[in-house]
A and B are shown apart, each in its own frame.
Chain A
Amino acid sequence: MTGLFELLGLGASAELLSLSGWGGNLLRGLANSLQIAFGAYGLGLVIGLFGAYGKLYGGKVTRDLLAIYTTVIRAVPELVLILILYYVGSDIINKISEGLGGGRVEINGVAAGIWVLGVVQGAYATEVLRGAIKAVPVGQIEAAKSYGMPAFMIMRRVTIPAMMSFAVPGLANLWLIATKDTALLAVVGFNELTLETRQAASSTRAYFTFFLAAGFLYLMVTLCSGAVFARVEKWARRGQPSLKGGTS
């Protein structure tokens, strides 16, 4: 066993991965990745909610524009979108700021990452939420309307709670995509987990040690999220009869 470890260059792993060694860097990268993933996921949900409403109840132009948005985002590789949004985003913000007479805007890496991945997530979230809202029985919304509830209150009190159970599986999947997509930001030079891993690996030449360690960290995030989402799903389904296959 030790022979195999030595062979793979894992001999000095414990030392290299200690917190005072490169382990701290990996954890810092993980924190960055999670921060970006959280932000992008949140931004994606906001875009998705508006997008879904726009697609369902919006005017023709809104609907067409949203269709273009979701189609384009889902057909172009994330890596390409990230590059385009990364360069375009900062250009636009600076132009607007200059137009308003303001100075240049500093965009930190995390905010840029959130914006880029959030726009991508938004397209997928739009589709997930649209499907979920459509699955809510029309009668429930009509009943709320006939009580004279304002539109926003209907959304908050009826539509969103009722659609949650339909949306959670899709949203869980989106969260996993968000965490993994943060790795793509390594290509534009963000110090997230994958880039930290590569820097550590190429500085120490212990490729297997660090790539396996990073893989383990990502896997832990996935598995923990899976457990959390299982609970959320249970919570979202509370009060519903447990009909298997009734929600897909």
Chain B
Amino acid sequence: MKLKALLAAATAAAALTAGAAAAEQVKIGIAAEPYPPFASLDSSGNWVGWEVEVIGAVCAAAELDCVITPVAWDGIIPSLTGQQVDAIMASMSITEERLKTIDFSDPYYNTPAVIVADKSMDIEATPDSLAGKIVGIQASTIHQAYAQEYFKDAELKVYQTQDEANQDLFAGRIDATQADSIAMADFVGSDTGSCCEIKGAVADDPAILGRGVGAGVRKGDDALREALNKGIAAVLADGTHEKITAKYFTTSIY
């Protein structure tokens, strides 16, 4: 048993030292936690969803050899700067705060932020209405930044994934959650989401909520950023974007 373990360690060490990049593969980081309908695992272990298809299309148009690499959302920007991935395409909004650390491509989709709460609750998407309520948000998102800025009188509960916040909304542990309108439309349409409804969009603040979702790249990695921009422009121009969107949503999300 010990020998086996030693062998395993030796191979691992070899993999660490000898695994230098052979081909020019571009590692696209997505959140390891499911974020339907944009990216989630199916039961055979494949990533599926709108964003996964768009990544495929953008990479094909930009002639990049992309590999999807799941990373914990919570540490996705450090993973990019730490070179574990080369780009982030994980429904990440382009915000001023993030631009201080990383660069972004042009946006490839844009959706408003909404408040979701139990149907029986009389809640509006305003700071006054949410005062004293428990609001669940996902860590490291524009929604967390927004809620911390505007919902100071609410009790904020921070989740690692939006899915967990949804689960607790369903369980009644939180009164409301702020998240992306498309993801939430999907949630309230599901069995567990039937408890709840979208109460409305929050007042826009472009400084915090950003200018749409783009692909994050390391600062100075202009070659990749340009390539991705080209790919995004191509899929928008030739109708691929629209085709993929039609498969998942009823309205355009660009």
Q: How far is the CA of A105 from the CA of B18 in the complex (A)?
A: 8
Given contacts A21-B43, A25-B45, A105-B21, contact A199 B1 (CB under 8 A): no
A203 touches B34 (CB 8 A): yes
* Interface residues in B, total, Cβ within 8 A: 47
* Interface residues in A, total, Cβ within 8 A: 48
A108 touches B15 (CB 8 A): yes
The answer, yes or no, to whether B223 is at the interface (CB within 8 Å) is no
Given contacts A105-B20, A106-B21, A118-B9, contact A90 B43 (CB under 8 A): no
Given contacts A25-B41, A114-B12, A189-B32, contact A90 B191 (CB under 8 A): no
Binary interface profile of B, 1-37, with partner A (CB < 8 Å = 1, else 0)?
Answer: 1101111111111011101110001010001111010
Question: Between A and B, how many residue pairs show CB distances below 8 Å?
Answer: 126
B78 touches A104 (CB 8 A): no
Interface-lining segment among A33-41, A69-77, A137-145? A33-41
The answer, yes or no, to whether A222 is at the interface (CB within 8 Å) is no
Given contacts A191-B32, A228-B1, contact A203 B41 (CB under 8 A): yes
Binary interface profile of B, 221-253, with partner A (CB < 8 Å = 1, else 0)?
Answer: 000000000000000000000000000000000
Contact residues in A for B73 (Cβ distance below 8 Å): 189
Contact residues in B for A108 (Cβ distance below 8 Å): 15, 19
Q: How far is the CA of A188 from the CA of B25 in the complex (A)?
A: 22
Return the chain B residue nearest A28 by Cβ.
B45
Q: How far is the CA of A111 from the CA of B17 in the complex (A)?
A: 10
The answer, yes or no, to whether B82 is at the interface (CB within 8 Å) is yes
A103 touches B6 (CB 8 A): no
Contact residues in A for B191 (Cβ distance below 8 Å): 205
The answer, yes or no, to whether A68 is at the interface (CB within 8 Å) is no
Q: How far is the CA of A133 from the CA of B3 in the complex (A)?
A: 19
For A24, give its contact among B20, B25, B33, B45 (CB under 8 Å): B45
* A171-213 interface with B by 8 A CB criterion: 187-191, 195, 198-200, 202-203, 205
Given contacts A91-B82, A191-B32, contact A106 B12 (CB under 8 A): no
B21 touches A111 (CB 8 A): no
B20 touches A232 (CB 8 A): no
B34 touches A39 (CB 8 A): no
* A104-131 interface with B by 8 A CB criterion: 104-108, 110-111, 114-115, 118
B20 touches A102 (CB 8 A): yes
Given contacts A24-B43, A107-B16, A202-B167, contact A45 B72 (CB under 8 A): no
A199 touches B33 (CB 8 A): yes
Given contacts A189-B75, A203-B34, contact A38 B83 (CB under 8 A): no
Given contacts A106-B19, A195-B32, A203-B34, contact A45 B12 (CB under 8 A): no
B43 touches A42 (CB 8 A): no
Contact residues in B for A199 (Cβ distance below 8 Å): 33-34, 40-41
A-B contact pairs, 22 of them (CB 8 A): A25-B41, A39-B12, A42-B2, A43-B9, A90-B82, A90-B83, A104-B20, A104-B83, A106-B20, A106-B27, A107-B84, A108-B19, A118-B12, A188-B75, A189-B33, A189-B72, A191-B70, A195-B32, A199-B34, A199-B41, A202-B34, A203-B34
